[in-house]
């Protein structure tokens, strides 16, 4: 290839980065589109979801085999399996062309698929900078033997934590590209492992084993500027491990030549045996930022040094239990201290608490603690708490419990009075509880409910409230804004379920006519009906809370004397508007339209605040 093509590729890479930095934050939230070939979802084919998606959207694909040839053009999206299981979510090109093509697709992401049945490569990327991770490329064929697994043309791909095996042609064919290839496993390909021409690359922490031709083939025409970093790989193929037809091969740093000792490569099990030379043989500095899991979601890095290949070897040896745990009581808190552990792969400590000596313990910290002390706060005075501590290593192995220690904290302040049962705050908390009762086995619905609960809980920010039924005059608007978003989300989910119930009824009726089991559909139907009931309860609670807030604001406005007669007509105008919207809101609530009532209560509160402002002007 000519010098100009490399310059074009570098310019494209720089322009993409500059444009990304220059773009303002997106106002619209990215959408999540769902795909399932045999179940309820937004789409039944991946390509239909891709065609609908916009830049920034996420497409989640349920397990199944999708016989498609996908094209992603002129948009940046994330395409991922859900749950993230490459072995269960297969995209099969059917031998009719490339299985996946990226064309001018920016920084798109592909994660969690088996890509097979591709001709002219399993995946092709042109003028794009995709991230490809946790995918399996197998039984793909390259055009003229090139790029059987992945073909990068004038692109800047990041290829990390993938498995390539049994492809025809090269596993990776990188043409005029700037590629990052880290922690992949490449095995038994009818071609070369990695072939890069007229471009630049970082190739690190990979296993390239049993290929027919070259391990790493590198060629750049004379006069073309380039860089290549090759370090901490295992390269051991049937022919030549490293080859440059145009001269000497670049410097290779800390690569090894050995049998990687896969568990069962004949059955595509590329986990490492405990004696593999690839364990702790990688370079931590070469792992891309943000990559903290291996191919199957285990911690990467374990034991302090990253392994070569897609899998991080499982460390099964836990650290010793911490010693000399001491507990000291304080005011509603207990201070804990213990001796440091000596393991070199120590990741931290976990603290467990119980109110019964030797009883069932509950972990009180989040991520492992980095230091050998901890202060447990927010406790109840006069109650005895019992503690044990464990140590955790980088392989997530946890020690047994330390010897138990206990302490009884004091309490120097009386508990605050509970808010009245009819206050706006209590009604909002009741809405959160109703939504909690709506949760079930549907993880996607549960996540949506979590987001709505978060929005409602955010509206309970103490800085936005004067008391349990009165909002801050300047910041109270934020309470209504967040609550309206929550209500609209619940209303949208309710409409979706209202449309889904008749479809379920038809499915149940059809199955019953055939004498088939409908227990699963009945369970789904009951779960939806229960969720709808709790959604309605939550909306009523929210609207009732806003009724209290708007009513208190209206009373405050009516009881505020007008300081300056010049503003009296404005005061009465806004007071009348507040009362008008209050009446509309109450009527909407009586009609069962809670979302509309929330809108009107918000307007009533705003007009009441305006009336108070004019009454207070001097």
Same-domain check for residues 402 and 442: no
Task: Find out whether 425 and 469 touch, Cβ atoms under 8 Å.
Answer: yes
CA distance 342 to 320: 9
pLDDT tens-digit map of 318-348: 999 999 999 999 999 999 999 999 988 789 9
Same-domain check for residues 531 and 601: yes
CA distance 141 to 149: 7
- C-alpha of 404 from chain center: 37
Look at residue 310 and tell me if it is in a domain. Answer: no
Structural domains counted in the chain = 3
pLDDT tens-digit map of 340-372: 999 887 899 999 999 999 989 999 999 999 999
Residue 499 is classified by DSSP as H
Q: Can you tell me the mean pLDDT for 159-175?
A: 96
Q: Can you tell me the mean pLDDT for 580-588?
A: 90
Q: Can you tell me the mean pLDDT for 538-555?
A: 88
Same-domain check for residues 427 and 387: no
Q: What is the pLDDT of residue 8?
A: 45
Same-domain check for residues 364 and 500: no
Look at residue 307 and tell me if it is in a domain. Answer: no
Look at residue 154 and tell me if it is in a domain. Answer: yes
Same-domain check for residues 48 and 197: yes
Residue 9 has pLDDT above 90, yes or no: no
Q: How far is CA 319 from CA 196, 344, 398, 605, in A?
A: 44, 10, 7, 59
Beta strand 207-209 with 185-187 is: parallel
The DSSP line for 534-573 is HHHHHHHHHHHHHHHHHHHHHHHHHTSPPS-GGGHHHHHH
CB-neighbour burial class of residue 225 (10 A; exposed 0-12, middle 13-18, buried 19+): exposed
Look at residue 346 and tell me if it is in a domain. Answer: yes
Same-domain check for residues 397 and 270: no
Look at residue 21 and tell me if it is in a domain. Answer: no
CATH number at residue 372: 2.60.40.10
Domain boundary, last residue among 382, 407, 432? 407
The DSSP line for 109-123 is EEES-EEES-BS-SE
Look at residue 467 and tell me if it is in a domain. Answer: no
Domain boundary, last residue among 407, 432, 451? 407
CA distance 525 to 533: 12
Q: What is the pLDDT of residue 41?
A: 95
Domain that holds residue 362: 323-407
CA distance 545 to 601: 10
Percent residues over pLDDT 90 in the chain: 55
Task: Find out whether 321 and 401 touch, Cβ atoms under 8 Å.
Answer: yes
Same-domain check for residues 65 and 161: yes
Same-domain check for residues 108 and 64: yes
Look at residue 306 and tell me if it is in a domain. Answer: no
Same-domain check for residues 437 and 393: no
pLDDT tens-digit map of 10-39: 334 433 343 333 334 443 568 999 999 998
Q: What is the pLDDT of residue 19?
A: 32
Residue 597 in 3-state DSSP? helix
Q: Can you tell me the mean pLDDT for 243-249?
A: 86
Same-domain check for residues 401 and 510: no
Q: Can you tell me the mean pLDDT for 413-427?
A: 73
Same-domain check for residues 358 and 452: no
Look at residue 27 and tell me if it is in a domain. Answer: no
The DSSP line for 504-542 is HHHHHHHHHHTT---HHHHHHHHHHHHHHHHHHHHHHHH
Q: Can you tell me the mean pLDDT for 389-417?
A: 88
Angle at which helices 519-558 and 477-513 pack, to 10 degrees? 160
CATH number at residue 101: 2.160.20
Phi, psi (deg, nearest 5) at residue 368: -55, 140
CA distance 304 to 280: 8
Calculate the average pLDDT of the chain: 89
Same-domain check for residues 92 and 240: yes
Q: Nearest 5°: CA angle at 158, between 129 and 210?
A: 135
The alpha carbons of the chain give a radius of gyration, in whole angstroms, of: 31
Q: Is the dihedral of CA 285, 288, 291, 295 positive or negative?
A: negative
Domain boundary, last residue among 228, 258, 286? 286
Q: Can you tell me the mean pLDDT for 111-137?
A: 97
- Cross-strand pairs, 178: 200
């Amino acid at each position: 290839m000519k010098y100009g093509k490399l310059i074009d590729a570098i310019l494209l890479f720089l322009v993409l980065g500059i444009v990304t930095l220059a773009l303002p934050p997106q106002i619209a939230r990215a959408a999540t589109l769902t795909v399932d070939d045999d179940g309820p979802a937004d789409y039944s084919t991946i390509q239909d979801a891709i065609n609908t998606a916009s830049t920034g959207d996420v497409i989640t694909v349920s397990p199944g085999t999708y016989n498609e040839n996908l094209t992603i053009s002129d948009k940046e999206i994330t395409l991922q399996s859900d749950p993230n299981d490459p072995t269960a979510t297969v995209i099969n090109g059917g031998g009719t062309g490339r299985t996946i093509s990226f064309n001018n697709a920016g920084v798109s992401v592909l994660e969690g698929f088996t890509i097979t049945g591709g001709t002219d490569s399993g995946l092709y990327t042109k003028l794009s900078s995709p991230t490809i991770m946790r995918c399996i490329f197998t039984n793909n064929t390259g055009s003229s033997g090139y790029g059987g697994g992945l073909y990068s043309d004038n692109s800047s791909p990041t290829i990390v934590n993938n498995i390539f095996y049994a492809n025809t042609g090269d596993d990776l064919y990188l043409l005029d590209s700037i590629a990052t290839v880290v922690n992949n496993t490449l095995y038994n390909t009818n071609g070369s492992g990695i072939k890069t021409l007229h471009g630049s690359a970082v190739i690190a922490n990979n296993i390239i084993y049993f290929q027919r031709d070259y391990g790493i083939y590198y060629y750049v025409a004379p006069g073309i500027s380039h860089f290549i970093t090759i370090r901490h790989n295992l390269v051991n193929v049937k022919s030549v491990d490293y080859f440059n037809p145009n001269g000497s091969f670049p410097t290779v740093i800390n690569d090894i030549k050995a049998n990687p000792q896969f568990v069962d490569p004949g059955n595509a099990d590329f986990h490492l045996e405990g004696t593999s030379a690839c364990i702790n043989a990688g370079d931590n500095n070469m792992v891309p930022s943000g990559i903290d899991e291996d191919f199957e979601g285990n911690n990467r890095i374990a034991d302090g040094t990253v392994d070569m290949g897609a899998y991080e070897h499982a460390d099964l040896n836990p650290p010793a239990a911490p010693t000399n745990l001491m507990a000291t009581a304080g005011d509603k808190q207990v201070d804990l201290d213990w001796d440091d552990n000596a393991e070199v792969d120590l990741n931290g400590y976990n603290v467990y608490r119980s109110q019964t000596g030797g009883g069932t313990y509950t972990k009180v910290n989040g991520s492992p603690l980095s230091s050998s002390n901890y202060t447990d706060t927010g406790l109840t005075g006069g109650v005895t708490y019992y503690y044990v501590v464990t140590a955790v290593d980088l392989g997530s192995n946890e020690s047994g419990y330390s010897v138990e220690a206990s302490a009884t904290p004091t309490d120097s302040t009386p508990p605050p009075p509970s808010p009245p049962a009819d206050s706006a705050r209590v009604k909002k908390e009741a809405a959160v509880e109703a939504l909690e009762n709506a949760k079930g086995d549907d993880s996607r619905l549960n996540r949506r409910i979590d987001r709505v609960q978060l929005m409602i809980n955010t509206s309970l920010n103490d800085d936005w409230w004067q008391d349990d039924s009165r909002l801050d005059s300047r910041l109270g608007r934020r309470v209504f804004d967040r609550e309206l978003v929550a209500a609209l989300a619940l209303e949208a989910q309710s409409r979706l379920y209202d449309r889904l119930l008749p479809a379920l009824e038809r499915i149940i009726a059809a199955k019953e006519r055939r004498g088939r089991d409908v227990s699963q559909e009945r369970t789904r139907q009951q779960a939806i009906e229960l969720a709808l009931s709790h959604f309605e309860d939550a909306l009523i609670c929210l609207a009732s809370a806003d009724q209290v807030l708007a009513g208190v604001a209206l009373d405050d406005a009516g009881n505020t004397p007008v300081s300056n007669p010049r503003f009296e007509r404005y005061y009465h105008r806004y007071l009348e508007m507040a009362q008008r919207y209050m009446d509309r809101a109450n009527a909407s609530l009586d009609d069962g339209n809670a979302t509309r009532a929330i809108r009107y209560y918000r307007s009533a509160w705003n007009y009441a605040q305006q009336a108070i402002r004019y009454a207070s002007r001097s």
